[in-house]
Structure 1
Amino acid sequence: MTGEPNSGAEGHWRALERLYSSAPVNSKFASSLEVTGEGAARITFDITEDVFHAAGAAHGTVYFKMLDDAAFYAANTLVTDRFLLTTSFNLHFTKPVRDGTIIAEGRWVSGRRRVFVAESRLIDGEGDEIGRGTGTFMKSRIPLSGLPGYAE
């Protein structure tokens, strides 16, 4: 990696952050991605009533989305040419969340060629883990460079 901010790994990480922001689904959520290093990503998400289930807490789809995205982007830091696809994801809910900001922390675990494994966890505003997941991701045929948002 050179010292230039938009080259090498740093450039790839910033491009992944732009890709996250440009995805139409992410306009529905108050969230942002930060790639924090090779094999590591963090998503900040604000819980509001519009993501509640009938009993007044965040719906499980929110847990899945944040856990999947954090693990996905952690794994995609290691792949500079192709978009990864989620092939499986296991998650565990440990605590309901009703308001505030949650953080999804993703971490690459293994794989460097075609299949990647990454894990993630959700942390609430009190510092408690509220969910955990592990995903398997596979290289697709979709070039990152051709995706809106990835290129500046």
Structure 2
Amino acid sequence: MDKSHYEKLEKVYLDAKINTQLFETTTIKVEDGEAQITLEVHDKYFHGMHAMHGAVYFKLLDDAAFFAVNSKVPDVFVLTAEFNIKLIRPVAHGQVKAIGKCIDSTNNKLIGSAELYNEAGKIIAKGTGQFVRSKIKLPS
């Protein structure tokens, strides 16, 4: 793939209102087989015990793995077929970074994983998933 493919994927991510209005501090960087997403932790993402809700962990992990996998697919969007996470520790401040990697992109077997880190560089969650090619063409 070339840099324009990765930039196209970054634009798709940042064009989604959920990523720029609800998660307005989000950033993304896509490279060959890898994606990094950052987010400033804010209390609007907290559950009742004042730490970031697991749904936000899931979103960041799934998105990072998704875009790492899609970096290997030049023509269509991939879709998440299955994604499992393991929550390791809570986070209530600072910036978090999800690093996704494409584990396998042969034929129909698209597998990605991601790790979520707190500002101190400690892993706070992990995820792995299976993705499938859709019929939705990437924008040109």
Who is 1:17 aligned against? Answer: 10
1:144 aligns with 2:104: no
Who is 1:122 aligned against? Answer: 116
1:65 aligns with 2:62: no
Amino acid at match of 1:16: L
Instruction: Measure, in 2, the Cα distance between the counterparts of 1:82 and 1:57.
Output: 36
CA contact (8 A) 2:57 2:125 kept: yes
1:90 aligns with 2:84: yes
Amino acid at match of 2:134: S
Q: How does 1:39-118 map to 2 (within 5 A)?
A: 39-118=33-112
Instruction: Measure, in 1, the Cα distance between the counterparts of 2:78 and 2:99.
Output: 18
Task: Tell me by how many angstroms 1:45 deviates.
Answer: 0.8
Structure 2 length-normalised TM = 0.95
CA contact (8 A) 1:78 1:112 kept: no
Aligned CA-pair RMSD: 1.0
Task: Tell me by how many angstroms 1:113 deviates.
Answer: 2.0
- Structure 1, gaps ≥5 residues long: 1-7, 146-150
Who is 2:29 aligned against? Answer: 34
The DSSP-based 3-state class of the residue aligned with 1:68 is: helix
Who is 1:148 aligned against? Answer: none
CA contact (8 A) 2:88 2:123 kept: yes
